[in-house]
Amino acid sequence: MKKIALALLGTAFLAGVYSFTTVNKTMDVVTYKVEAGKSRVDWVGSKKNDFHTGYFTVKSGAVQVNNGKVTGGEFVIDLANLKVTDAAGAKLEGHLKAADFFEVAKFGEATYKINTVTYADENNATINGTLNLKGASLPVSFNAVIRSADDKGLFAEAFFSMDRTLFGINYGIGNIAKEVQVAVHLFATK
């Protein structure tokens, strides 16, 4: 009987001690490297009676993930190699690379740094960060779908519009829309 009482007392003591210890459920932050050949930023620019489509590749970057959730990241977008995907082709590419738009001779890259990520549910998050484009650094926030962030890799997408004039790209105001439609497709692996 004495042994049973001591065993029960010992169990109660251990249960009491463990109930006051915090359990750290966070995992280590894992950094995923952006797959440059697969990640890109698509765009659609509209004007009064037409539109143009194209994309920029994501040159490099990294995404931080903790316990399957994106927590940060930084990316380099290759402006100098922008591509137009409609019939306007090379002629429009040349104009977009000039000082009227991106001035790629001076600003060949843009960067985006994630400052905070707020999840609405398992896969949907609001990304808040800073975009450095054409010498201007401004906050840019958007909703993203984090489709996967596991051992196989990370895949996330975002669809939003952005006012180009905030970055000093003012060419054609009145004929060309200020808002550009953007679609980001981001792939990364450990």
Q: For residue range 104-118, what is the model confidence (pLDDT) as tens digits?
A: 999 999 999 999 999
Contacts of 95 (CB under 8 A, 6+ apart): 101
Chain position carrying tokens 């402006």: 79
Q: Which pTM does this prediction carry?
A: 0.84
- Is a pLDDT exceeding 70 seen at residue 12? no
Kindly report which listed range (18-32, 34-48, 125-139, 149-163) carries the lowest average pLDDT score.
Answer: 18-32
Percentage helix, strand, coil for the chain under 3-state DSSP, each rounded to 5: 15, 55, 25
- Please provide the DSSP assignment of 81-142 as one string: EEEE-STTHHHHHHHHHSTTTT-TTT--EEEEEEEEEEESSSSEEEEEEEEEETTEEEEEEE
How far, in Å, CA of 12 to CA of 16, rounded? 6
- pLDDT at site 165: 98
Q: Which fold is adopted by the domain 26-189?
A: Lipocalin (2.40.128)
The domain segmentation of the chain, as residue ranges, is 26-189
Q: For residue range 94-105, what is the model confidence (pLDDT) as tens digits?
A: 999 999 999 999
